[in-house]
Amino acid sequence: MKVSEEPKVGEALYHIRVKKGEIPRYVFLPGDPGRVKVFAESWDTSQLVAQEREYLTYKGKYKGVELACTSTGIGSGAIAIAVEELLRVGADTLIRTGTTGALSPEVKVGDMIISSGAYRADGATRAYAPLAYPAVPSYEVLLALVEAAESLGVRYWVGLTYSTDSFYLGQGRPGFNGYTSEYSERIVERLRKLRIINMEMESSTLFTLAGIYGARAGAIFAAIANRATGEFVPSDEFEASGVRTMVKVADEAVRILYEWDAKKAELNKPYFYPSLIKKL
């Protein structure tokens, strides 16, 4: 019997069920499969690629740019699988488009947060690299997200993100029957002192794996909760939660990146730099 090291079903990758070459290089990564459809509806054309467990993939075109969106499920284990398999089938630029809890009282629910780096309180990346290894986005993706947010005139913040596998105690929320732990009681205050501006569950894994594999990554979030003011808005209340705004900013950021990438290719430059914009 021939034994394959690569878990596949026919030609498709085992979990995401996408085949090599079926998706373009730019891929959005929301956690929730429901949000993949919000992306698909925002594009000029879209089609279903695959659906398996929490991994739903659509691809399409936005203003002439080919892009895709795959849901990752929640937490580091689930997104690590998505990243591993998407890179194998042709993606090289992965943008997390999630929801988050803001730590600073100035951030309003519905604002955008763009991550400039992630605190690795996840579980999966310990199998990949020591904790001293940085979890940082690509500066090109980060800049394209800022450019898109500015061009659309939305409220946004740029700062450090805390990523944990635990929505409740890991983010300072009480567990069942009010159970708590020393870690949980201290974490919110500790993160504020470290000037971390938001809490979520996947970005440290995306950034760490992208760093190791030489891919580009970025992350933008809609703030659906504020841990200082106690506000919480369900993410399916699109206008109030900022999810629809996040989709618009992300689409526009990929259009901008595509232009920058084309200019880099034309001028044979490996990296984007600000005066390249004058040459556009």
Residues in contact with ligand URA by the rule CB under 6 A: 99-101, 167, 171, 199-201, 224-225
For ligand URA, the closer of residues 30 and 60 by Cβ is: 30
Instruction: Check if 173 is active-site.
Output: yes
> Minimal distance in Å, beta carbon 13 to ligand URA?
26
In 3-state terms, what secondary structure has residue 244? helix
3-state secondary structure string across the chain: CCCCCCCEECCEECCCCCECCCCCCEEEECCCHHHHHHHHHHCCEEEEEEEECCEEEEEEEECCEEEEEECCCCCHHHHHHHHHHHHHCCCCEEEEEEEEEECCCCCCCCCEEEEEEEEEECCHHHHCCCCCCCCCCCHHHHHHHHHHHHHHCCCEEEEEEEEECCCCHHHCCCCHHHCCCHHHHHHHHHHHHCCEEEEECCHHHHHHHHHHHCCEEEEEEEEEEECCCCEECCCCCHHHHCHHHHHHHHHHHHHHHHHHHHHHHHHCCCCCCHHHHHHC
Residue 141: how many other CB atoms lie within 10 Å? 26
For ligand URA, the closer of residues 121 and 209 by Cβ is: 121
Residue of 227, 221, 162 lying closest to 35 (CA atoms): 221
For ligand URA, the closer of residues 121 and 217 by Cβ is: 121
Active-site residue (options: 15, 17, 25, 35): 15
**Contact (CB, 8 A) for 143 and 158:** no
For ligand URA, the closer of residues 60 and 98 by Cβ is: 98
> Minimal distance in Å, beta carbon 32 to ligand URA?
10
Which amino acid, 36? V
For ligand URA, the closer of residues 86 and 109 by Cβ is: 109
Active-site residue (options: 17, 120, 227, 255): 227
Active-site residue (options: 22, 54, 85, 200): 85
For ligand URA, the closer of residues 99 and 184 by Cβ is: 99
Active-site residue (options: 173, 192, 231, 244): 173
Instruction: Check if 85 is active-site.
Output: yes
Task: Enumerate the active-site residues.
Answer: 15, 85, 173, 227
